[in-house]
Structure 1
Amino acid sequence: MLRVLLLLTVAAVVSSSQGPSHCCSHGDREIVQEQWAHLWEDVESSKMKIGFGRLIFEKMFEAVPATKDLFKRVLPNGDTKSGEFAAHCMRIVNGLDMLINLLDDHDALESAVEHLAEQHSHREGIKKQHFVGFFKILEVGLPKILPKYSPNAWKACAMGLVNQIARKLT
């Protein structure tokens, strides 16, 4: 009985110290990072990132029209083609890029996730469901543009990040 209790205690300590990527295995991280890097091989990657981000947000606005109000500051007159919105899309995709590239650096990833969680907790109207919706849009879109999309790896890694960032939201 003591061995079982000790084993459970060790397992609990190990799993609690794993932070944002606790269910994202080494193999999952490699797959996600490799597939993500594949998206940006084009020399025009900044244009691709803006287009990619814009498409995700347009899908989100279509699915949940009320979310468009959350982006008034970067959506002058609701224009998703504006320079302000293009810059916002670039910031979002670069943030996602940073998280994916930090999957193998636990301390840096934890710091980045904490920063994003804190930053978004102060944004009025942003809810956990918005982050989940953002990931669901990625989940539908990535298989269309990645030849070897691995849904299990993406779900394991991305949902852990989503949950950690959104943990301070309602």
Structure 2
Amino acid sequence: SVVTGSPHCTRKVKMLRLVVLLVAAVAFSNAAVKHCCSAGDRHNVQEQWSALWEDQESSRMKIGFGRMILEKLMELKPETKDLFKNVNGADTKSGEFAAHCMRILTALDMLINMLDDPEALESGIEHLAEQHSKRAGVKKEHFAVFGQILEKGLPRILPKFDYLSWKSCLKGLLTKIAHKLN
């Protein structure tokens, strides 16, 4: 039998403590990885995103991509159709709606380009959060669906799409923009 305080027992207790600490450290690091937009993630996202802006026809592509995102949002969340009345959301081929699509992608571009400047990024996010909090009917869940649509759509238009980098960075951006919403 093992006597309490014996070297054998002390070694087992130390090993058990070490195992518990290692398990906790691994669990903590995995949780951090899921929600952290690391320097590597920021670089990947910025590099991949820049591919959208290189083409001479990039504005048409961006408007088309923005239109696809908003049409899908309105399909998945029909109550959002009313949110786009002021930009002629009933006619998604209209110039007004195209301009709104471009504004959305330009705002996303701004945030992505500011990922390495935390102070400017927070200011940009806060501005967008404030704008959206003043619009009746805009909900947190709309931003969650917007993010899901982006996760499915970006791989179709971005070369070398890095899902984990985008998920890490995009989730944080959209969550912060939606923080003032219900």
Where does residue 149 of structure 2 map in the other structure?
137
Find the partner of 2:129 among 117, 122, 125.
117
**Counterpart residue type for residue 23 of structure 1:** C
- Could you say what secondary structure the match of 1:70 adopts? helix
* Number of aligned positions between the proteins: 148
Deviations 1:73-116 (A, max 9, x none): 1016x100111101101110000000000001111001000111
Q: 1:29 aligns with which of 26, 42, 46?
A: 42
1:114/1:165 contact within 8 Å kept: yes
Q: Does the residue aligned with 1:149 lie in a helix, a strand or coil?
A: coil
Task: Report if the CA contact (8 A) 1:132-1:162 is conserved.
Answer: yes
Equivalent residue letter for 2:171? M
* Structure 2 gap ranges (5+): 1-34
**Residue aligning to 2:102:** 90
After superposition, the C-alpha distances for 1:118-151 in whole angstroms (9 at most, x for unaligned) are 1111100000000111110000111122231111
**Is it true that 1:40 corresponds to 2:53 in the alignment?**
yes
Deviations along 1:57-82, one digit per CA (max 9) or x if unpaired, are 11111111111111101016x10011
Separation (CA, whole Å) in 2 of partners of 1:50 and 1:145:
13
Contact 1:40 1:48 in 2 (8 A): no
Equivalents in 1 of 2:77, 2:175: separation in Å? 20
Q: Given residue 43 of structure 1, which amino acid in structure 2 is its aligned partner?
A: Q
Greater Rg over alpha carbons, structure:
2
- TM-score, with normalisation over the residues of structure 2? 0.79
- Structure 1 residue 156, shift from structure 2 partner: 0.6
> For residue 75 of structure 1, what is the amino acid of its counterpart?
N
Give the number of the structure with larger relative contact order, counting CA–CA contacts within 8 Å between residues 6 or more apart.
Answer: 1
AA aligned opposite 2:165 = A
Select the residue among 36, 59, 76 that pairs with 2:72: 59
Question: What residue ranges of structure 1 are gaps of 5+ in the alignment?
Answer: 1-21
| Comparing 85-94 and 138-147, the one that deviates more | 138-147
Whole-angstrom distance in 1 between the partners of 2:157 and 2:107: 20
Percent identity of equivalent pairs: 67
Whether 1:74 and 2:87 are equivalent positions in the alignment is: yes
Tell me the TM-score normalised to structure 1 length: 0.84
Extract structure 1 runs of 4+ deviating beyond 2 A: none
Instruction: Look up the match of 1:152.
Output: 164
